[in-house]
Amino acid sequence: LGLLRRVDSYFGEYLSQKAKARENFSDVSFSRTSSSCSIATDEGLFEQPEPLAASKTVLEKILRRRSLQLRDQQQAWQESPEGRKMLEFRMRLPAYKEKDALLTAIARNQVVIISGETGCGKTTQIPQFILESEIEYVHGAVCNIICTQPRRISAMSVSERVASERGEKLGEHVGYKVRLEGMKGRDTRLLFCTTGILLRRLLVDRNLKGVTHVIVDEIHERGMNEDFLLIVLKDLLPRRPELRLILMSATLDAELFSSYFGGAQIIHIPGFTYPVQTHFLENIVEMTGYRLTPYNQIDDYGQEKMWKMSKHAPRKRKSQIASVVEDALRAADFKEYSPQTRESLSCWNPDCIGFNLIEFLLCKICENERPGAILVFMTGWDDISSLKDKLQAHPFLGDPSRVLLLACHGSMASSEQRLIFDEPDDGVRKLVLATNIAETSITINDVVFVIDCGKAKETSYDALNNTPCLLPSWISKVSAQQRRGRAGRVRPGECYHLYPRCVYDAFAEYQLPEILRTPLQSLCLQIKSLKLGSISEFLSRALQSPELLAVQNAIEYLKIIGALDENENLTVLGRYLTMLPMEPKLGKMLILGVIFNCLDPVLTIVAGLSVRDPFLTPFDKKDLAEAAKSQFSRDYSDHFALVRAYEGWKDAERDIAGYEYCWRNFLSVQSMKAIDSLRKEFFSLLKDTGLVDGNTTSYNAWSHDEHLVRAVICNGLYPGICSVVHNEKSFSLKTMEDGQVLLYSNSVNARESKIPYPWLVFNEKIKVNSVFLRDSTAVSDSVLLLFGGSISRGDTDGHLKMLGGYLEFFMNPSLADMYQSLRKELDELIQKK
């Protein structure tokens, strides 16, 4: 009895022991008899007479034993032949020389910032140093290191590399976790994950219980997620004084981060690179026998040219030269360059990166140059796959016995990834087509030649994972230098920039941080779902805070679509939107697609709006392309045209005529394939959130009712709405904020002379000289009445006032009454569902 009483008095502590045990063992049960207490763990049954002492000592013993086992295992590996070879490789990395300094700094400071050239061993070594020193010196201590990566692929490939450097299988002590995939086990102590995964964990575990070290990698990229995470971690540090935060950057901008964390210690890892010879476009063109020179005059055709290209034949008549110029420019696949300023850079046609020029350079390198891998930086995976197709058909470059052609981008399979790091057979040259992922996050060992197209896709914000990016844009000077640096890692190298020197001079020094250049709606939702208080107050504490107006716009928008209520609290809709990694309006369309049972077409629309426009308009075949698009339209909707085009492709694809179908209809095969895979991904996301029943396997049961889909589009795109004003021959468009607006010429509605609907909802408006609308769908009064605005908001009055600005007839009280009662009914229906 006495014993039991004592046990009960220790009950509190007993429970906390139990919780601790649960953290370290997958299966634990405590039981007691009148004379002893036993603990059954997955390592066996332990009995001790003293219940509390038992739990403590047994647990400590087990942990200690595991630690020693781990230490022995580590030593054994390092003494084995492969282990020694690996260790020798590691010891040659610049980071290794700083090992002691790094560990001391980390032990003494809560925040440490580490900078060092790409490839110096930050990502693979530093987490490992921490792990090894914990194993070696802190017997029984359980470290739990989390290292975040901006991209899934780097989390996966780095974890695999680190596991192999330790002679372990992935998922033992080293693991990874990305959305929908992961390899980690009970004993995982070093976890590589995407930044989004850590943010998600913070959702349920605000203090990161049990985590000893957080390493945020690639902070120089200044992604939205990383900037966001830093604010959260900065708040967390005082609450978790023993937690260590390590920030790693590939560039020397460490001061900014250091002062953000109150003057945190900076450690720089000195690196070494071989010289790299740099060629700009003018030099490359010269290799073809032509010459590209600045030429700031009006030519014979009356067009202003900033560049001319000429065969070395200066005495030819000017018009002849002009035609040679035109031909050569066309052959080289790029148009005129006239960019002296940053503004005019955006006019460059990103679809012409110069495939022929790249092919020319590749042949030149393969035929004449010394051995060494070639790394080509492309804009995005669609360009990569087009170029890959083209090169595979090439007699020399496509011959696998001579060239090992590989792609490296964010969405590649892991089996494909491994090949990038492998050495090719003798006499075979490795050629890797990569996105900016190979700039700093992935290091390919043997690169000697770099070809840089100068563009990268700027991502749109995405809280949980990468959604496809939006627009290709020029890289920064720092990125261009990084790309060049890839060529000089193993021996002197060469870098070919596919743009003139003056374009490079006009590049921005650094890329603007994502938080300052993308809409903040999803971020605001994320802040709310993490319960971080007032949005504007929270964002004012960022490394570089976005403008107040941008924040207010985002909040206002979220209120209008019903994701936040009047007091800035998340609504039910808002909570679901935080689970869907896409723009809120697209997420909302998906949710409505489920509620109104028309998910199939809505999935296509949402996927289509997330990828590069699948309708191609080649410069010289504009009319044909627009006519091809208009045959998909009968309903005054670009969105329906997209659905038809996709469904046509799906049907054709079954007959292996997919390519032919795309070719005939000016559609991008890549976009079609991307839509296809995104549809699947979004569908499984909807299952994850519980919105779609987990057992649903096909989309066939969903309605394709045109009115329903139109209504869903209207609700998703609201408040992107303009009124259609008809005059005698045609029509004009007006929005409340901008007055007159225009349609992009490739919109199906731009080809109509009359639109038998009073409204257009649109996806996006862009100000060039006038305001242009992209992707629109015509809607009727009643659809706008019922579906414009926030269905779940319940604030019919405020909503009415707003619509009143648009709809004069709203002043008619009977209509307003009807509207209110209809809305109420609808709201009830939705609540039930």
Which part of the chain contacts ligand CDP (CB under 6 A), choosing from 123-131, 367-375, 408-416, 525-533? 123-131
Site for ligand CDP contains 421 (CB under 6 A):
yes
Closest C-alpha to 637, from 787, 763, 770: 763
Q: What is the dihedral of CA 216, 220, 221, 227, to 10 degrees?
A: 60
DSSP 748: G
Task: Choose from ligand CDP, Mg ion, none: what does 116 bind? Cβ within 5-8 Å by kind.
Answer: ligand CDP
Site for ligand CDP contains 409 (CB under 6 A):
no
* Residue type (1 letter), 319: S
Residue 170 vs 609, nearer CB to ligand CDP: 170
CB of 191 to Mg ion, least distance (A): 16
522 Cβ contact partners less than 8 Å away, ≥ 6 residues apart: 461, 462, 463, 583, 584
Q: What is the 3-state secondary structure (H, E, C) of 52-89?
A: HHHHHHHHHHHHHHHHHHHHHHHHHHHHCHHHHHHHHH
CB of 147 to Mg ion, least distance (A): 10
Residues linked to residue 178 through DSSP beta bridges, in sequence order? 181
Residue selected from 51, 116, 223, 720 as contacting ligand CDP according to rule CB under 6 A: 116
Site for Mg ion contains 310 (CB under 5 A):
no
Site for ligand CDP contains 443 (CB under 6 A):
yes
CB of 122 to ligand CDP, least distance (A): 3
Residue selected from 74, 123, 637, 665 as contacting Mg ion according to rule CB under 5 A: 123
Residue selected from 37, 54, 120, 560 as contacting ligand CDP according to rule CB under 6 A: 120
Q: At which residue do the structure tokens 């179908």 appear?
A: 661
Residue selected from 14, 17, 119, 570 as contacting ligand CDP according to rule CB under 6 A: 119
Residue selected from 55, 110, 115, 123 as contacting ligand CDP according to rule CB under 6 A: 123
CB of 93 to ligand CDP, least distance (A): 6
Which part of the chain contacts ligand CDP (CB under 6 A), choosing from 54-62, 111-119, 190-198, 790-798? 111-119
CB of 172 to ligand CDP, least distance (A): 18
Residue 231 vs 250, nearer CB to ligand CDP: 250
CB of 105 to ligand CDP, least distance (A): 17
Closest C-alpha to 118, from 397, 441, 358: 441
Q: Give the span between the Cα atoms of 549 and 593, in whole angstroms.
A: 32
DSSP 47: E
Residue 94 vs 798, nearer CB to ligand CDP: 94
Peptide bond into 719 cis (omega under 30): yes
Residue 116 vs 581, nearer CB to ligand CDP: 116
Q: What is the dihedral of CA 575, 581, 582, 588, to 10 degrees?
A: -30
Site for Mg ion contains 735 (CB under 5 A):
no
Residue 118 vs 715, nearer CB to ligand CDP: 118
CB of 176 to ligand CDP, least distance (A): 12
Task: Choose from Mg ion, ligand CDP, none: what does 182 bind? Cβ within 5-8 Å by kind.
Answer: none
The size of the chain, in residues, is: 833
Q: Give the span between the Cα atoms of 74 and 68, in whole angstroms.
A: 10
- Tokens representing 693 are 């029943």
Across 618-720, where does the E strand assignment appear? none
Q: At which residue do the structure tokens 């290794």 appear?
A: 96
Site for Mg ion contains 571 (CB under 5 A):
no
Residue 149 vs 670, nearer CB to Mg ion: 149
Site for ligand CDP contains 157 (CB under 6 A):
yes
Residue selected from 122, 455, 588, 644 as contacting ligand CDP according to rule CB under 6 A: 122
Helices (H), 446-534: 477-485, 501-506, 514-517, 521-529
- Termini Cα distance of the chain: 56
- For residue 214, the surrounding DSSP H or E stretch is strand 213-216
CB of 322 to ligand CDP, least distance (A): 47
- For residue 818, the surrounding DSSP H or E stretch is helix 813-832
* DSSP-derived secondary structure for 721-734: EEEEEE-SS-EEEE
Which part of the chain contacts Mg ion (CB under 5 A), choosing from 122-130, 175-183, 223-231, 360-368? 122-130
Residue 114 vs 603, nearer CB to Mg ion: 114
Q: At which residue do the structure tokens 């802190």 appear?
A: 138
- Tokens representing 251 are 């560039």
Q: Give the span between the Cα atoms of 368 and 363, in whole angstroms.
A: 8
CB of 417 to ligand CDP, least distance (A): 8
CB of 220 to ligand CDP, least distance (A): 11
Task: Choose from Mg ion, ligand CDP, none: what does 120 bind? Cβ within 5-8 Å by kind.
Answer: ligand CDP
CB of 115 to ligand CDP, least distance (A): 10
Dihedral over Cα of 15, 21, 23, 26: its sign: negative
Q: Exposed, middle or buried by CB within 10 Å (0-12, 13-18, 19+), for 832?
A: exposed
Residue 246 vs 606, nearer CB to ligand CDP: 246
Site for ligand CDP contains 159 (CB under 6 A):
no
- The three-state secondary structure class of 367 is helix
Task: Choose from Mg ion, ligand CDP, none: what does 610 bind? Cβ within 5-8 Å by kind.
Answer: none
Residues linked to residue 146 through DSSP beta bridges, in sequence order? 191, 214
Residue 483 vs 673, nearer CB to ligand CDP: 483
Longest dimension (CA), the chain: 113
Q: How many residues bind ligand CDP (CB under 6 A)?
A: 15
Residue 97 vs 206, nearer CB to ligand CDP: 97
Residue selected from 28, 99, 106, 121 as contacting ligand CDP according to rule CB under 6 A: 121
Q: Give the span between the Cα atoms of 805 and 788, in whole angstroms.
A: 13
Which part of the chain contacts ligand CDP (CB under 6 A), choosing from 7-15, 121-129, 175-183, 730-738? 121-129
Site for ligand CDP contains 472 (CB under 6 A):
no
Residues of this chain, 321-380, that bind ligand CDP according to CB under 6 A: none
Q: At which residue do the structure tokens 């004069």 appear?
A: 808
- Tokens representing 277 are 């010879």
Q: How many residues bind Mg ion (CB under 5 A)?
A: 2
Residue 122 vs 179, nearer CB to Mg ion: 122
Answer yes or no: are the C-beta atoms of 706 and 599 closer than 8 Å: no
Residue 93 vs 503, nearer CB to Mg ion: 93
Answer yes or no: are the C-beta atoms of 232 and 264 closer than 8 Å: no
- Tokens representing 564 are 């936040």
Residue 437 vs 525, nearer CB to ligand CDP: 437
Site for Mg ion contains 249 (CB under 5 A):
no
Site for ligand CDP contains 161 (CB under 6 A):
yes
- For residue 556, the surrounding DSSP H or E stretch is helix 548-560
Task: Give the residues lining the site for ligand CDP (CB under 6 A).
Answer: 93, 116, 118-125, 157, 161, 421, 443, 445
Task: Give the residues lining the site for Mg ion (CB under 5 A).
Answer: 122-123
